[in-house]
Structures are given as C-alpha cells and as structure tokens.
Structure 1
C-alpha cells in the first residue's frame, strides 16, 4: 500500500505528496532526456535573433550543443534520483515552456 507524505520543498510545492513529487521528477527527467536535442535549434534561433545570424550559427551552435547535453544529462540524473524529490535543476522545466527564454541551470 502506497503512503503519501505531505512535504514543503524549497520549490514552494506545499502539500504535494512524496509520491506525486517523485512521479513529477521522473516524468520531467524522461521528457528532458527525450527533448534535450531540441535545445540545439532553440539556442541557435535565440542567439541569432539577439546577436545576428553569423554569431548564432557559430557561438549559438556551440552553446546549443552544450545545452542539449546539459538538459539530457540533468534529465538522466532526475530519472536516476527520482526517489529524492528536489526542485527542477533545468529552467524552464520543459523545453516548450518559455521557448523564447534561454535555458539556465541551478
């Protein structure tokens, strides 16, 4: 029989059960593994819009590769550690949230 615990995480998710928080972390991890590659075109587009096409196609490409790896690795870590519910490390939590905002970590 599953038993839920009410917790208050630093992410401000008061009242969410342990099971719900763990499940959300697992789902977020799986989604971030699957969509990590989308960081590449997203970052190239954002960098090109902000700094021009030549910069976006060079620096944006390199940054996009790093963000793709970052989102995928943090997604894998979330899957491995889903039993320890913590706030999301990648912001935005899903790539389609705030698509016009560059990804940050921490």
Structure 2
C-alpha cells in the first residue's frame, strides 16, 4: 500500500513540475494561433463594421488638401465610402473563410477605427 501511495506522489509531482515548465514557454507574436486568431477576429469585425467606411470617407474627403465644396465633398465621400465599405466587408469575408492560413489581414488598418484619419489600403496576401 505504501508503494502505491509513493508512486502516486511521484507521478503527481512530475505532472506538477512538467505543467509549470510548459506554462513558462513564451508565445511569440508570429505564432500560428496568434496570426490565425487575428485574421479571424479582423474578418469578423470587418464584416460587422465595414459600413463605418462610409462616414470615414465623407470626413476624409472633406479634409483633403484640395478645396472642395460641401456638397461635392459629401457626394465624393459617399461614393468612395460605399466602394470602401464593399471592399472592407469583402476582405472581411475572405479573411473569415481563409483564417486558417496564417497570413496578415487584407486591410490596413486592420480595424476601421484604428488610425481613423488615414485612408484605408487594401492589400493582397503578405506573409511576414
């Protein structure tokens, strides 16, 4: 009976120390789970918030260096915003479908509210 309790003690201590060693491993920013998770999350968020490109582009068109009247800025902003809304939502769908391929998201900035005063860029797949 004592040998079984000693064996149980040794086995439980070995599990205790082995799990501590695993917990101390660092997860790098380039790990598969981090990239796939970011891509899934950005795809989901971009599908849900792609419409925010519309007011963002109306604002950006009105703030450009070339002076444009109010109605022209709104018209151009609505047209560009509608196009960017379609693009961001479409890129979100593609990112959702292909999240298991650990590439960077197709949109820069990744989320529409990041760097709100900068025009959105749509990229192809870049493995970094």
* Bin of the TM-score, shorter chain as denominator length: 0.7 to 0.9
1:70 lines up with 2:87 in the alignment:
yes
CA deviations 1:9-50 (Å, max 9, x no partner) are: xxxxx7522122111110010011111000001001110122
Give 2:112's aligned residue. Answer: 95
The root-mean-square deviation of aligned C-alpha atoms, in Å, is: 1.4
The runs of 4+ residues in structure 1 deviating greater than 6 Å are none
**Given the two structures, how large is their TM-score scaled by the length of structure 1?**
0.81
How many equivalent residue pairs? 93
SS for the counterpart of 2:116 is: coil
Give 2:42's aligned residue. Answer: 28
Can you give the 5+ residue segments of structure 2 that lack an aligned partner in the other structure?
Answer: 1-27, 124-128
**Given the two structures, how large is their TM-score scaled by the length of structure 2?**
0.68
Larger helix share, 1 or 2: 2
Using the alignment, how far apart are the partners of 1:91 and 1:46 within structure 2? 16
